[in-house]
């Protein structure tokens, strides 16, 4: 992906530097010719992949919409007056169709789909290699997956030559079936290459992981569970040669363990199946650690003032075992910079939380280049640990808990824990997914699939089932009279 993005950025710089209009007549170079050139398909793909950073590690967009509503994290309003209540509204299930993060999420998905549609059309017309066309088709399907996961029934189109009046909504089930058909038709055409030029891109294994995610949540999306199909897709990925990254001590790591290399500058390709490449102020920005810590604490640890925003709910932190290496991501008690974090938070919105209230998280410990706006940590979308936990879950749901045990035990042992003393239950798997995939964007799906999303927890009240979908944004409703608002909003 890096080479793709660099090609795209270089093209933009080149275009801006052309001042002698008589040197070449670029408007005679047709789109068909351009995309038939060996470099053309990569540039078309780069334009679409360049949209992905907005889906991981950023501020006030898709990541916050899908993570602040879980039991993993929240940004409270502070007694000092810092931070508005918007992310706390997500956490307490008090969002409305006008909430900015929800509107940004909707727009990000549809802007990405528009570019993907354009790339598919260009590559198909130019006779580009089949693997390139398959790659962008799967990438387009991934954006639709994000949409139906968040909003349910949504407008669907694969041709940009369409008017608003012609843009029709399809059901979640219809789009689910289309996504699955796109993956199954194209996954085997993709290279098996891991890392290198395929770092941050859909290869065959990433495509089958995507398919596994579709089947994992099929019961939510369509009412018909697909546990056996999910297990088969995961088994296909397991044949790709992935392993768990070591969980051994590492004195050179700021968090003291090689495990946290998974969340650094380059996600290791022994375990990482698909990642979003981020480079501060060039392509995306990872704000997660800096946004969490207090100002003086950030200066002492990173050299830049922290934003004093995101906290980890006390009940989530308390579930981790003391000898779990993953607990090292959390900051509690006395910290560098003369800051002491207390775990208790008794108010999120009115009057709000104290400036040092709440457990902090530095799982994505900032790597260079970084500054006060964020860092260049890449963001993992799919990891082999997730594959193992999906295999465990599917086996338990299919009535074969004994077959599930080796999969969940691998993840636990890497974290420094003992294997389970008995065959796993669904509760064991739910908890382990929370421990392992914390802050990586899977929790909302997990809570909905396991039936916990609408239950009361901490400062969050119990709610009805309509909160499992976000509302169609008011701005989208105003722009397209064909849209129908989701029930309950």
Centroid of chain to Cα 187? 20
Confidence (pLDDT) at 7: 38
Give me the CATH number covering residue 256: 1.25.40.390
**Cα–Cα distance between 470 and 151 in angstroms, integer?**
5
Domain residue limits at 356:
288-377
Q: Is the pLDDT reported for residue 282 higher than 80?
A: yes
The verdict on residue 74 lying in a domain is yes
Is residue 69 left, alpha or beta, with left meaning phi > 0 and alpha meaning psi from -120 to 50?
Answer: alpha
Considering the domain architecture, whether residues 430 and 349 belong to the same structural domain is answered as no
Q: Across all residues in the chain, what is the average pLDDT?
A: 92
Considering the domain architecture, whether residues 364 and 351 belong to the same structural domain is answered as yes
Centroid of chain to Cα 443? 10
Considering the domain architecture, whether residues 89 and 161 belong to the same structural domain is answered as yes
Which tens digits make up the pLDDT trace of 306-338? 999 999 999 999 999 999 999 999 999 999 999
Q: What is the mean pLDDT of residues 459-464?
A: 96
Q: What is the mean pLDDT of residues 348-372?
A: 94
Q: 446-452: which pairs have CB atoms within 8 A and are 24 or more residues apart?
A: 447/70, 447/71, 448/217, 448/220, 449/216, 449/217, 449/219, 449/220, 450/426
Domain boundary among 362, 377, 392: 377
The verdict on residue 146 lying in a domain is yes
Burial 144-160 (b: 16+ CB within 10 A, else e): bbbbbbbbbbbbbebee
The verdict on residue 486 lying in a domain is no
263 and 364 in contact (C-beta within 8 Å)?
yes
Domain boundary among 361, 377, 393: 377
Domain count, the chain: 2
The verdict on residue 488 lying in a domain is no
226 and 398 in contact (C-beta within 8 Å)?
no
pLDDT band at 32 (very low <50, low <70, confident <90, very high): low
* Tally of CB atoms within 10 A around 82: 16
Q: What is the mean pLDDT of residues 451-473?
A: 97
The verdict on residue 487 lying in a domain is no
Domain boundary among 357, 377, 397: 377
Considering the domain architecture, whether residues 323 and 271 belong to the same structural domain is answered as no
Largest CA distance in the chain: 76
**Cα–Cα distance between 19 and 216 in angstroms, integer?**
54
DSSP string covering 127-186, please? T--HHHHHHHHHHHHHHHHHHHHHHSSEE--S-S---GGG--EE-HHHHHHHHHHHHHHH
The verdict on residue 134 lying in a domain is yes
Which tens digits make up the pLDDT trace of 218-240? 999 999 999 999 999 999 999 99
Considering the domain architecture, whether residues 191 and 318 belong to the same structural domain is answered as no
């Amino acid at each position: 992906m890096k080479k793709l993005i660099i090609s795209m950025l270089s093209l933009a710089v080149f275009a801006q530097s052309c001042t002698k209009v008589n040197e070449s007549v670029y408007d005679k170079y047709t789109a068909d010719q351009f995309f038939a050139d060996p470099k053309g398909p990569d540039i078309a793909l780069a334009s679409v992949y360049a949209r992905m950073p907005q889906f991981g590690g950023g501020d006030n967009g898709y990541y916050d919409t899908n993570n602040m509503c879980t039991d993993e994290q929240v940004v409270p309003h502070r007694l000092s007056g810092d931070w508005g209540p918007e992310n706390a509204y997500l956490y307490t299930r008090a969002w409305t169709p006008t909430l900015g993060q929800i509107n940004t999420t909707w727009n990000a998905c549809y802007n990405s789909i528009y570019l993907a549609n354009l790339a598919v059309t260009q590559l198909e017309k130019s006779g580009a290699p089949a693997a390139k066309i398959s790659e962008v088709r799967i990438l387009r399907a991934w954006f639709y997956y994000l949409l139906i996961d968040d909003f349910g029934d949504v407008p669907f189109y694969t041709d940009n030559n369409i008017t608003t009046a012609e843009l029709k909504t399809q059901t979640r089930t219809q789009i689910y079936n289309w996504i699955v058909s796109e993956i199954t038709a194209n996954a085997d055409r993709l290279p098996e290459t891991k890392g290198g030029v395929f770092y941050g891109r859909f290869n065959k294994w990433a495509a089958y992981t995507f398919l596994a995610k579709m089947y994992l949540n099929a019961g939510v999306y369509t009412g018909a569970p697909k546990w056996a199909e999910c297990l088969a897709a995961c088994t296909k990925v397991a044949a790709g040669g992935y392993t768990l990254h070591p969980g051994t001590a590492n004195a050179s790591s700021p968090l003291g363990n090689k495990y946290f290399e998974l969340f650094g500058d380059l996600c290791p390709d022994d375990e990482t199946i698909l990642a979003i490449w981020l480079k501060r102020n060039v392509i995306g920005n990872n704000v997660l650690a800096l946004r969490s810590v207090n100002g003086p604490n950030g200066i002492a640890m990173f050299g830049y003032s922290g934003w004093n925003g995101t906290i980890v709910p006390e009940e989530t932190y308390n579930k981790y075992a003391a000898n779990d290496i993953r607990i090292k991501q959390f900051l509690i008690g006395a910290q560098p910079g003369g800051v002491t974090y207390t775990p208790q938070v008794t108010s999120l919105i009115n009057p709000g939380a104290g400036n040092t209230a709440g457990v902090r998280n530095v799982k994505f410990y900032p790597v260079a280049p970084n500054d006060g706006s964020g860092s260049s940590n890449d963001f993992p979308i799919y990891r082999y640990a997730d594959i193992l936990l999906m295999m465990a879950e599917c086996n338990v749901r299919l009535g074969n808990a004994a077959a599930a045990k080796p999969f969940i035990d691998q993840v636990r042992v890497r974290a420094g824990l003992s294997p389970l003393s008995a065959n796993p239950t669904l509760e064991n798997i739910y908890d382990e997914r929370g421990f392992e995939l914390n802050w990586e964007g899977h929790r909302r799906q997990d809570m909905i699939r396991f039936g916990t999303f609408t239950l009361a927890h901490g400062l969050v009240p119990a709610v009805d089932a309509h909160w499992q979908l976000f509302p169609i944004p008011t701005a989208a409703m105003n722009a397209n009279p064909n849209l129908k608002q989701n029930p309950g909003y």
